[in-house]
Structure 1
Amino acid sequence: MTFRVSWFLLLVGVWNCVIWPNFMYNIAKDPRSWSGGEPTGFFLVHLVLVVVNVAIGLALLVLGLRGIRAKARASESGEQVRG
């Protein structure tokens, strides 16, 4: 994986981990999310969407960090690394 791809994955991972929880906060405030104090289907569907996207974001973040660290280790040891 190239250094640019690693940074891209890292940034997309951070973006997902920042944006989706904020989206969930806004959904929780929506009156369609609750009926008599109980979560509605609207809320639950969006909760699943947020959980999946935050998990994807964390995975991308880890992959990006691993790529950046690999590039840094390779450059310290003088190895030739693509990207």
Structure 2
Amino acid sequence: MHARPTSIFLLAFGVWSWAIWLMFARNLWASESSWAADGSPTSYFVVHAVLTVVSIVLGTIIGVIGWRGLRASSSRSLDDTTSPANDIAKGH
């Protein structure tokens, strides 16, 4: 498995989640559907606020996994030398 492309994808997904869901939260807050006549939040607002929070938390977790994988693959690539002797010793 190629850790670096997977890690980049996970990190990008985390960033994308933050961008999309923060924009959605801003629009949710401004929506007339989110607030009752007395100024209290509607069930529409509550459900979508919960979805937003969960999505941002999951996006953060996925992004952190991607970041850690990227850092680990970078440190591994610094440890690996690409000399033919090492490839033969490793059985490649």
TM-score normalized with structure 1 length:
0.90
Superposed displacement of residue 28, structure 1: 1.1
2:25 is matched with which residue? Answer: 24
Structure 2: runs of 5 or more not aligned = 83-92
Which of 71, 76, 79 aligns to 2:78? It is 76
Q: Are 2:6 and 1:5 equivalent residues in the alignment?
A: yes
- Tell me the amino acid that sits aligned with residue 7 of structure 2: S
Alpha-carbon distance between aligned partners in 2 of 1:17 and 1:32, rounded to the nearest angstrom: 23
Where relative contact order (Cα < 8 A, 6+ residues apart) is larger, the structure is 1
TM-score normalized with structure 2 length:
0.82
Structure 1 outlier segments of 4+, above 4 Å: none
Q: Percent identity?
A: 39
Flag the structure with higher strand content: 1
Which of 42, 58, 61 aligns to 2:60? It is 58
The 3 A distance-change label for structure 1 pair 62 and 32 is same
Cα offsets for 1:24-56 (capped at 9, x unmatched): 110111111101111110000000000000001
The 3 A distance-change label for structure 1 pair 79 and 70 is farther
Superposed displacement of residue 61, structure 1: 0.7
Q: Name the count of aligned residue pairs.
A: 80
